Amino acid sequence: MKSRDESLDVLRRALKVAGGDEADASFISVDQNITRFANSNVHQNMSEESAWLTLRIVADGAVGVASSSSFDDASLARTAELAREAARHAGTTQGFAGLYRGGDGQPALATWDEATAQLAPAAKAEALRDMFASGRAAGVDFAGVYSTGRTAAACANSHGIERYATATHSDATAIAIGPRGSGYATARSRRASDVSIAALGERAISRATLLADVHEELAPGTYDLIIEPAAIAEVFEWLGMIAFTGQSYEDGSSFLVGANGRKLFGENVTIADDATDESFLPFPFDLEGVAKRRVPIIERGVAHAPVVDKMYADRLNLPLTGNCWQLGSSEHGSAFHLSMDAGDSSLEEMIASTKLGIWVTRFNYVNGLLEPRTALMTGTTRDGTFLVRDGRVAARLPNLRWTQSMTEAFANVESLSRDRQIIGTWYNPFGGTIAPTIKVRDWHITGKQATGSPGPS
Amino acid sequence: MQPTRQQLEDALKSLRDPRLRYADVRYTRTSQQHLRVRNGEVDHLSESVEEAIGIRVLVGDGWGFAASSDPSEASLRRTAARALEVAAASNIAATRAVQLSDLEPCVASWASKYVIDPWSIPIAKKIDYLRAATEPMRSDARIHQAAGDLSVFRQEKAFASTIGSYIEQTTTQMGAGIEAVAIAGDEFQRRSHPNSFGGDFQAAGWEFVEALDLPARAATCRDEAIALLDAPKAPAGRFDLIVGSSQLALQVHESCGHPTELDRAMGLEISLAGGSFLQPGMLGSFRYGSDLVNIVADATIDGAIGSFAYDDDGVAAQRFHLVENGMFTGYLTGRDTAPEIGRASNGTVRAETAARIPIIRMTNINLEPGTTKLDDLIADTKHGILVETNKSWSIDDLRLNFQFGCEAAWEIENGRIGRLLRNPLYTGITPEFWRSCDAITDQNSWHLWGLPNCGKGDPMQTMRVAHGAPYARFRDVEMG
């Protein structure tokens, strides 16, 4: 990971050779250690030290972008030439008023934990070894991943903006796999001390062994669904792509189009992009240098505007939200810190209030491209799907397929838990999702994994 | 700058551990260019050049891997030392013996073929091409988005290993496609050509894009997108289903390619991507599909983006059956997984770049053509649905229960193609679906589709694979 001086040196040299009318650049450096395990055995273990520069040049209203992992003067000159060449031919971008010129101070946020930054591969392996032993005692094997890392992100532009911040992360997932069922647990934080491998193992075991000998099936139909945060995060990842970007707002595919100020969901649904919440995964600015703030997308059921980068804030005449996480991205705004407000219930209370329903730990392979205007999605459940009957958890269910409009689902949220959980996302090094457990009425179950399939459910 | 062979081999020699059993080092330089024209504007125009080194060591029964974006000699030595440190940590929690299948050393050099170097074509000409391919789609107000994509990919790779292999490979690839999005009220319809999500891709040069002739297809894209707005919704129920070539390619990818990855079957990917219903005990005895179904992995096809000469274990590219006459007969394997089923590696281990651990990946996984002419297949279908071009995909963690959505469908009544239908969805269970296959069209309707975005691994690695597929008919499939 590069220091402030090293990072800003690369950025200043890149901007010096950029040319054009305006230019900005981002420089990311990452040190990360990722340990993967399966069958209670470490089978992949890696350490990476990488850095890359992205340079964007604006000339006559046209934009070109180039990136490189080499930062000597000759490589920077070559990168600048590629970006200039791109800008020369790109043509004017309508409505773009130019790069960010500053004016806001970045929030002071606790993003760094020295113990996490210094955590050695051996210490992680020892924690995993102990979890494997606890699994053997409980009759389960473990699979999953344990990642830690440190990131430095810097950006600068030709209007004098310079930003630099560092962040640490610790992220682990454990699946306990027993002969009659599997259980899932996950955690993510800026601090490794918040991610207890032993606790994750215990939670996964408890889910894998819950009602392990009691299996039932359920016919397709509509059911009340109790959805844990990991499953909500899968849905939010897709909403982030199909509904909350500047691109989806402009191209008409987002359900937010024409809905600004209109009540779409119940009073109990509030969804925001919030990188300033220190109990989540805080980060002080986006890669255009815009200071982060809480951006409501759905507030008490009422739709707001999507998140945008500077180009689409200008173009769509929307407030600048600070959501550029890749210079030149076609998404023109990505909600990398999706936060759903908590409620006043609990998982236990949701189960107790359910006559006939399903408690879901995690979704699998969600796809949100079926009918984007209603956010119609499909996916399956996995690693812990339970039948709830007469206020009690009654049996394990096979993995189920569902096909559900999310605009309908978020209008049918009956209750939300007081506790929220952070869930990491593979494509998002800066943030993730924080959400409570929610109970939704009338969720559409459309099929199941084949009867007698060889894996755990 | 690419390290010399000597520098790479010196990095391997610097690995000093008495329990070291194997090591390799890779260097990649990955160059990409992407252009997107949308509604007459250049929406995205970017170039990237990324270098990486990666060193993989097997010490005792612990794998260690370290990577860096700095390919200098000093960085190679530091990275080698980190790989040993990581392997030592792996040994703390390693509980299983690692076996590697035998391999002879080789020294080789390979490059994919092209006629016109993609980087020799000026950016202005590429933009003009995309504008010519998208402008005809903008002539109707109901078309909300007319977009075209063009991408160029080149990866230069060097590999050295402690068994004495040294291999250099370069692949050059191009892709392009167009899409029209029509909107009316809450109805949102997309039509793409030649395929959705960026088009089609080949290991080729500019000649591939010229041959696609996208400007000639723009009007059809526009008209079908508009027609879909008012088309009746595809019905729910059970139908005889004819699956078009590009959609069938994705069906092969999701329901045969992924479940025949041996690492998935062994549970090594279960925490993220999932496992496989195809377990080793089923090899040779499990009926995957009807007698007509032959699925082959072939990494040796000229022009396919899943082709190479040697995988990232240094094993030569191969062609072999995964499904033969309907029976499950083979897995995709690597050196450290093949011994689990008593076989030698069939050379399918690859990494996105040198900064990632090589894992089992699809190569070119092809449904072999049958003997039926497409016209005869339609004429032979009394009451069915034809679906074309993928819109959505989802399959469970064992690759059994799938659901696909397509951009368009057509009724087939009494052997003739009828009305256009919108939003078709079909679902099924993998072996039940493939066993219901009763006709596969011939070579004339078979096409090798490039898919540059197969995701697997943690951290996620995007791999470039291909699938050859004709049209095929499946009986009594659930739709809606």
Nearest CA in chain B to A402: B403
Please work out, in degrees rounded to the nearest 5, the angle formed at the alpha carbon of residue A197 by the alpha carbons of A194 and A198.
Answer: 110
* Cα torsion through A144, B62, B362, B288, rounded to 10: -70
Contacts of B145 in chain A (CB under 8 A): 251-252
Encode B166-180: b = buried (16+ Cβ within 10 Å), e = exposed. Answer: bbbbebbbbbbbbbb
What's the pLDDT tens digit per position in B268-295? 999 988 999 999 999 999 999 999 999 9
Minimal-distance CA residue of chain A relative to B80: A47
Quick one: pLDDT at residue A457?
47
Report how far residue A198's alpha carbon sits from residue A126's, in angstroms, rounded to the nearest whole number. 11
> What pLDDT, in 10s, does the model give residues A266-287?
999 999 999 999 999 999 999 9
Taking the Cβ of residue B462 and every Cβ of chain A, the question of whether any pair is shorter than 8 Å is answered with no
Show residues of chain B in contact with A2, CB under 8 Å: none
Note the pLDDT tens digit of each residue in B192-237.
999 999 999 999 999 999 999 999 999 999 999 999 999 999 999 9
Interface contact flag, A382 B394, Cβ < 8 Å: no
What is the residue whose two structure tokens read 């032979």? B380
SS3 B57: strand
The Cα diameter of chain B in Å comes to 73
Please give the Cα distance from B279 to A181 (Å, whole number): 18
Query: How many pairs of residues across A and B have Cβ atoms under 8 Å apart?
Result: 271
CB contact under 8 A, B67 and A85: no
When CB atoms are compared, the residue of B96, B186, B425 closest to A39 is B96
The answer to whether B89 contacts A121, with C-beta atoms less than 8 Å apart, is: yes
Cross-strand partners of B49:
A68, B31
Beta bridge partners of residue B109, listed in sequence order:
B168
Whether residues A145 and B87 touch (CB distance < 8 A) is answered with no
> What's the pLDDT tens digit per position in A44-93?
999 999 999 999 999 999 999 999 999 999 999 999 999 999 899 888 99
Tell me: pLDDT of A103 over 80.
no
Tell which B residues from 329 to 388 touch A, by Cβ distance under 8 Å: 355-357, 359
Percentage of residues in chain B having pLDDT higher than 70: 100
Closest approach of chain A CAs to the CA of B443, in angstroms? Answer: 31
Which of left, alpha, beta for A336 (phi over 0: left; psi -120 to 50: alpha)?
alpha
Q: How many residues does chain B have?
A: 480
Which residue does chain B place closest to A123, by CA atoms? B89
Predicted confidence band at A306 (pLDDT cuts at 50, 70, 90)?
very high
Q: Tell me what the mean pLDDT of segment B288-313 comes to.
A: 98
B45 contacts on A by Cβ (under 8 Å): 63-65, 86-87, 89-90, 328
**Residues in chain A closer than 8 A to B46 (CB atoms):** 64-67, 86, 328
Q: Which of B129, B147, B130 is nearest to B138 (CA)?
A: B147
Rg (CA), chain B: 24
Distances B451 to A107, B175, B207, B252, B462 between C-alpha atoms, Å:
42, 10, 19, 12, 10
B90: left (phi over 0), alpha (psi -120 to 50) or beta: alpha
- Select from B29, B37, B47, B53 the residue whose CB has the most chain A CBs within 10 Å, as the one to mutate to test that interface: B47
What is chain A's mean pLDDT, rounded? 95
Cβ of residue B183 closer than 8 Å to a chain A Cβ: yes
DSSP B401: E
Which of A38, A70, A128 has its CB closest to that of B271? A38
Cβ pair A45:B65 closer than 8 A = yes
Q: How far apart are CA A329 and CA A307, in angstroms?
A: 13
- Cβ–Cβ of B123/A47 closer than 8 Å? no
B88/A contact by beta carbon, under 8 A: yes
Read off the pLDDT of each residue in A362-388 and give the average, rounded to a whole number: 96
- Across the range B77-99, mean pLDDT stands at 97
pLDDT at residue A451, as a whole number: 55
Q: Which of A10, A30, A48, A71 to mutate: most B Cβ within 10 Å?
A: A48
Q: Which helix (H) or strand (E) holds B469?
A: strand B461-469
Q: Which of B288, B296, B400, B283 is nearest to B340 (CA)?
A: B283
Pairing of strands B365-367, B200-202: unpaired
Q: What percent of chain B has pLDDT over 90?
A: 97
What's the pLDDT band for A315 if we cut at 50, 70, 90? very high
Q: Which of A365, A402, A408, A446 to mutate to test the interface with B (most CBs of B within 10 A)?
A: A365
Measured between beta carbons, the chain A residues lying within 8 angstroms of B425 are 370, 403
Which residues in chain A have their CB less than 8 angstroms from residue B36's CB? 330
- What's the pTM? 0.96
Burial A55-86 (b: 16+ CB within 10 A, else e): bbbbbebbbbbbbbbbbeeebbebbbbbbbbb
B36: Cβ–Cβ under 8 A, 6 or more apart, which residues?
A: A330, B42, B43, B44, B45, B130, B147, B148, B149, B150
Please answer yes or no on whether B460 and A373 come within 8 Å at the CB atom: no
Residues of B in contact with A62 (CB under 8 A): 42
B48 in contact with A at a CB cutoff of 8 Å?
yes
pLDDT band at A155 (very low <50, low <70, confident <90, very high): very high
CB-based contact, B300 to chain A, within 8 Å: no
Based on the number of CB atoms within 10 Å of its own CB, is B93 exposed (0-12), middle (13-18) or buried (19 or more)?
buried
The answer to whether B438 contacts chain A (CB < 8 Å) is no
> Which one of B67, B397, B460 has the shortest CB-CB distance to A48?
B67
Closest-CA residue of chain A to B268: A38
pLDDT at A436: 98
B127 closest CA partner among B219, B43, B221: B43
Chain B CB contacts of A426 below 8 Å: 272, 458-460
pLDDT above 70: percentage of residues in chain A? 98
